[in-house]
Amino acid sequence: MGIFQSGKVVFYHPCNDETEYTQTADWTETTPTYSAGKVSNALAPTSGDAVGAFGTENEFVSNGSAEYNVVVALDSTRFAVVYRDVPETDGIARVGTLSGTDITFGAEYVFLSGNAYNLHATALSSTQFVVAYMDNTSSNHGAAKVGTVSGNDITYGASNEFYSAGSAYDNRVERLSATKFVVAFDMNANTAGARVGTVAGSDITYGATTNFLGSRATDISLVVMDSSKVVVCYKSDSTTYGESNVGTVSGTDITFGSQHQFAGFNMSEVEAVALSATTLVVFYRLASSSNGGSKVGTVSGTDITYGAEVKFQDSDAAFWHSAAKISSSQFIIAFKDYSDNNGTTRVGTVSGTGITYGSQSDFCTTGGSGPQYVRIAVVGSACVAAYQDQADSDHGTAKAAVLPTAASSLANPSGLGDFGAEKEYLSSSQQPLAGIARLTATTFAVCYSSATTGLARVGTVSGTDITFGAESTFEPAGAAAMDPMDAAALSSTKVVVVYMANSPAARNVRAGTVSGTDITWGAATSYFAASTNRNAITALDSTKFVIGYKRDSTTSGAAKVP
C-alpha cells in the first residue's frame, strides 16, 4: 500500500496476511522480511533526462521551403504551425493534431499573401492565436492578426499594425490573457520597444509603445512571467552584449525597468523561457566558440539577477535553438548540433540558479546541412519540433516525441530517488500490521498492533527524514487487533482505522482526531459481527468513507458506507 505526498512517497508493502514486508533501499524482486514495522520515505524522482524517440516526420510544406517556423500549442493534442512558404513568401498557418507521436495537418490558411517576414505567434486560447509579422506589402510595417480555429479550419481577422512608422524587425508576441498580449519589436533598426494588444473578437487595439532600448536591439526574445510582468531579452547592437529588462503591465500600458546584463560579451541567437513568476532561463550562442550557453534569471520587482553560465552545447557550435517550458523546474531546448548537423533536443532541470542537462535526443538525422528555423513547443504530454529540412529541399517538417514522465510508478520504480534512513514506529518483535494515511504533504498517521493492543502514531516528514510522535491507543490491551488493518484520512486532522477486535469479537472502525502529533480516539463502531480479513478503507470526503472486506463464512467480498 502506498501514499504519494508532495514530492515524496511513503508506503508499506504487505505481501500476505502473515508477514509484513517493507522496502528500505534498492527495489528487488524478493522483498526482505522484517520482524518490526518500519516506514521508509523516498523523494519522488525528477523527470527523466531526455524525451522519448521522435516519431515519423510529417511535412507541413512539401512543395517549397519553410521559414520563420513557429509552433504554438492550442490544447493537449492540437497546435498551430505558422511559417513563411517560399518561393510564394506567403504567411501561412495550419492546425496540427497529435496522436501519440503521429501528426496530421489540416489545410493551409494564408494570413498574408506575399512577403511576410519576422513571424512569431502565441496562442490566446484553444481556439484563438495571434500572429505578428513584418508586412513587406505595407512598407515593412509591423502588423498582427487574430486566427480563430474551428476543427482544422482557421479564419483571420483584419490586419492591425503595431508599428507604422517604418520597418518592424525581430517581432515577438506573447500571451498575457485570453484577450491580451504583448508584442516586442525593433523599430526601423533604430530603437526597440513593446506595446500591449487587446483582442475583442478578431479585432486588435493597442496601447502606447514604450521603448526598452534607445538603440537597435536584435535577437529579441519575450517571456511572460505573470499577467502583469514580462521580461524582454535581446542583443544590444551597440555593445553586442546580452541585456534584459523587466516590463510591468497595467491595463494597456507597459513600463520597463533598467537593463540587466546576462552576457557581458559578444553573443547572438537570444532565446528565453519563463518557468515561474520569478524564474526564467535565457539561452544564447557565444561568438567566441559558437557554443550554446544558458543562465537562470531570478526576477524581483524590476530587477533580475543571473546565475552562472551552463552550456547546453559545449563540444561544438549550436544554431537555431528554441526552448519551451515543461514544468516549473524543467524545460526542453532544441537546436542544430554543428558537430554532426543533426537536429537535437536536451531536457534541462533547474535547481536554484543551477542547470543540469540530460542526454541528447535527435529529431533530424537526414544529413546534409541539417535543419534550420528550428522551433520547439510542448503540446500536452509531448513536444513538437518544426524545422526546415535542408537535406529534403528545405521542406517544412515536424516530428513529435513523448516528454519524460514526472514520476515513476511503483510498478516501474527505477526512477525513484534514494531512500532516506528507516525509522521504526514499533521496535518490538510483534507483527505490526499497519495502515498508513496521508494527513498533509508532510504528515501521516500509521496504525498498527503490538501483541493485543491497537496503536497509532503521527509521522512528520522533512526531506527524507521521518520523526514520530507518541503512541496513542485505539484498542486496549487484551482486546487484540491482529487482522490486517487499514487507515484513511478524512481530513488533515481526522483519521479512521478499520481492524479486528477479539474481545468482544467484532470488526471495528474508529475515528481519531489529530492535534499536532497527538491522536485522541472516539468510541469503536462494529461494521461486521463475524470473521473477516483483508480489511480496507478509503475516504470519500471529509465525513464519509468506504470499508471493503472479505467475509470468511462465504469467502465473498463486501463493502459498506457508514
Q: How far apart are the first and last CA of the chain?
A: 23
pLDDT at 41: 35
| 2-43+412-560 under CATH 2.120.10.10, yes or no | yes
Q: Residue type at 555?
A: T
DSSP 3-64: EEETTEEEE-EE-SSS-EE---SS--SSPPB-SS-EEEEEEPPPPPSS-------EEEE-SS
- Greatest distance between any 2 Cα atoms in the chain: 93
Q: Determine the Cα angle at 94 with ends 89 and 95, to 5°.
A: 165
pLDDT at 177: 95
Q: How many CB atoms lie within 10 A of CB 173?
A: 26
Dist CA 218 CA 240 (whole Å): 9
Class for the domain spanning 58-402: mainly beta
Q: Please state the φ and ψ torsions of residue 391, each to the nearest 5 degrees.
A: -80, -5
Locus of grid cell 514495522? 37
Contact residues for 198 (Cβ-Cβ < 8 A; gap 6+):
179, 180, 204, 205, 206, 207, 252
pLDDT at 415: 43
Averages of pLDDT over runs of 10 residues in the chain (562 residues) are: 39 36 35 38 46 93 93 96 93 96 96 92 97 94 97 97 95 97 93 97 97 95 96 95 97 97 96 96 94 96 96 90 94 92 94 93 87 95 94 93 64 50 74 78 86 85 85 76 77 89 73 94 82 77 86 73 84
- Provide the residue ranges of all domains of the chain, joining segments of one domain with +: 2-43+412-560, 58-402
Dist CA 322 CA 338 (whole Å): 15
Equal fold, 2-43+412-560 vs 58-402: yes
Q: What is the 3-state secondary structure (H, E, C) of 509-556?
A: EEEEEEECCEEEECCCEEEECCCEEEEEEEECCCCCEEEEEEECCCCE
pLDDT at 553: 65
pLDDT at 37: 43
Contact between 339 and 287 (Cβ < 8 Å): no
Beta pairing partners, 201: none
Dist CA 281 CA 329 (whole Å): 10
pLDDT at 166: 93
Locus of grid cell 518561393? 87
